[in-house]
Each structure stands twice: as C-alpha cells, then as structure tokens.
A = this chain, B = another copy of it.
C-alpha cells in the first residue's frame, strides 16, 4: 500500500479540489458566495448529500459576513461546536463564541421547568444584548425556542445556522426556521451535527478573512 506524499498544508487544498471536481461530475453548481460553505460541509462529512439539502436564505452569506466584520458573537448548543470554531479568527473582529449548555444555572433552571437545557440556553443568549449568529448542531428545541423568541420580538439574530441531527422533531424544527424572516442556513432533513455547525461557521470566517480556502 502506498501513500501520496503530501505536505500538511496541501491536504486541505487537495481535498477541496477533489470535492469541486466530484460536484462538477454530478452536475451540481452553486453561486460563488455559497460554494465555500457547501465545500467545507462536504469536507467535514465526506457526504455529498449535503449538496442537495443545504438551504440558504437570500443574501444570507453577505449578511453573515457583514455581521462578523462588525463584531457579531456566535452562540452554539454544543461544546463540540464551540471547540471546532476558529475562535482566534472571530475574536480578531471583536466577537466571541459561547455555549451555555453546561452552565450550572442553565442545568438547574431546565430541571425545575422540565424543559431542555437548550431552551434555557437560547433564553440566556437572547439576553446577551449583542449581535448574534446562532449555530445549532444538536438540539431541535433550541430552534423551536429561537423561533418563538423571534416571533415575540425578543430576539433578532444576524443568522441562524440550523443543522441539528436526529430523529425526533429535527426535520420539523428546521422547516420552522425557514418560515422566519431571519437569515438562515439550514440543512433540511435528519442530517447535520456539531461538526457541520462548526464547518459552516468556519467557512464564513474564512470568507471574511479571505483565507485561501
């Protein structure tokens, strides 16, 4: 068995070339501003199905990039996504990444109210009082609560990345977000997850920073 000799820095570039080529062979094309996000999600999952299911509201990429440049924060529903986001790059623009899921006050309140910690986390995030991008890779209840907060006029997110994975309420919660008038990137269907949420955030950060990929 032989392995291609390839420098560490070249591996990502080569992967993106392969993804681009295979998308082309499948006859799939995307607007220039969306392509880096589609590619990075496929890079993270090796799953080309995302090319059919990722859904973008009009001008969401431009709006998200503007928000990041103006110091928007990112709130996520898993510590895995928090761990995967390029925090240094976000901090350069003045923002930061938050996950309230493991906070003691959140756990306590969720238990008392018999709701998910994700619901309480979203309420806590709504009180941050800063422009916010929500990156939801796990909890459909987070998306449902976000929609309520938006409808009640308590929250106006810069972008909702709605990519929870799963089998219960997930498909419906994503469709719900697509009914809002907030900018969104949603992966329709069951698939998604923490790595997908982080990949989408990083694709936006790299676009803003004009990092080569």
Contacts and interface: CB of A to CB of B under 8 A. Distances in A.
A84 B101 CA distance: 13
Contacts of A116: 8
B194 A8 contact: no
Contact of A195 (B14, B110, B189, B194): B194
A6 B45 contact: no
Given A3-B172, A115-B8, A194-B80, A15 B46 contact: no
Interface residues of A, number: 46
Contact of A3 (B4, B7, B144, B192): B144
Contact of A1 (B82, B114, B117, B176): B176
Contacts of A2: 172
Interface in A152-176: 165-170, 172-173, 175-176
Interface string A172-184: 1101100000000
Interface string A1-32: 11110111001001100110000000000000
28 contacts: A1-B172, A1-B175, A3-B172, A4-B169, A6-B169, A8-B114, A8-B115, A8-B116, A11-B169, A14-B168, A15-B166, A15-B168, A18-B168, A19-B167, A43-B166, A45-B165, A45-B191, A46-B165, A46-B167, A46-B170, A46-B189, A46-B190, A47-B47, A79-B84, A80-B80, A80-B84, A80-B194, A84-B194
